[in-house]
């Protein structure tokens, strides 16, 4: 499977997660978000950028608690909770935000 962005074909898995992490750029993120029905705001980008930074360091997406804490520090305590993240990413911050950030889907009993 693949998606078309700027005339380039980007390979994805069955669920739309991009296969090569290095393919990712902001246009692709916008396209992936569009397919999820999400209009990327500055706050969405804060989450996506944090996920990518964390992944760079640890080769895995952060735990939801780590993410909420980081977002709370950046955007204010009232936004440092999973309710806020679900408002941004209704299908669940871990999976949906990872998809848009171009990261592999978290696996396990989650």
Partner 1 sequence: MAKLDFDLPKLGPNLEIPVLQPDAMLGDGPFVAKPDHQDKLGFPGELVDDWQQVAIDKMGELLGKYRSFKVYLDSCVKCGACTDKCHYFLGTGDPKNMPVARQDLLRSVYRRYFTFAGKHFPKLVGARDLTEDVLDEWYNYFHQCSQCRRCSVFCPYGIDTAEISMAARDIMDAVGKGQKYCNEIIGKVHKIGNNLGLPEPALIDTLEGLEEDIKDDTGIDVKLPVDVQGAEVMLVTPSADFFAEPHIDGLIGYAKVFHQAGISWTISSYASEAANFGMFIGNYENMRKVSQRIRTAALELGVKRIVFGECGHAWRVAYSFLNTLAGPFDFLDNRYPVPQHICELTNDLIGRGALNLDPSANDDKVVTFHDSCNVARASRMGDLPGGQFEIPRAVIRASVNRFVDMADETIRDRTFCCGGGGGLLTDDLLELRAKGAMPRVQALQQVVDDHGVTHMAAICAICKSQFSKVLPMYGLPMDMIVSVHQLVGDAIQLGTKD
Residues involved in catalysis: 109
Give the rounded distance of the alpha carbon of 85 from its chain centre.
Answer: 11
Kind and range of the H or E run holding 9:
strand 8-11
Of 3-11, 25-33, 43-51, 54-62, which segment contacts partner 1 by CB under 8 A? 54-62
The residue among 6, 103, 20 whose CA lies nearest residue 54 is 103
Of 20-28, 43-51, 59-67, 72-80, which segment contacts partner 1 by CB under 8 A? 59-67
Q: Do 68 and 85 touch, CB atoms closer than 8 A?
A: yes
Site string for partner 1, 71-110 (x = CB under 8 A): -----------x---x---xxx-xx----------xxxxx
Q: Would you say 41 or 107 has its CB closer to partner 1?
A: 107
């Amino acid at each position: 499977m693949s998606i078309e962005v700027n005339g380039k074909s980007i390979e994805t898995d069955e669920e739309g997660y991009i296969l090569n992490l290095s393919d990712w750029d902001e246009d692709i993120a916008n396209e992936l978000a569009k397919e999820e029905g999400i209009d990327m705001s500055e706050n969405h980008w804060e989450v996506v950028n944090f996920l990518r930074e964390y992944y760079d360091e640890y080769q895995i997406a952060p735990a939801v608690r780590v993410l909420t804490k980081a977002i709370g520090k950046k955007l204010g305590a009232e936004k440092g909770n999973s309710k806020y993240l679900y408002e941004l990413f209704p299908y669940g911050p871990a999976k949906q935000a990872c998809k848009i950030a171009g990261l592999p889907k978290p696996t396990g009993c989650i």
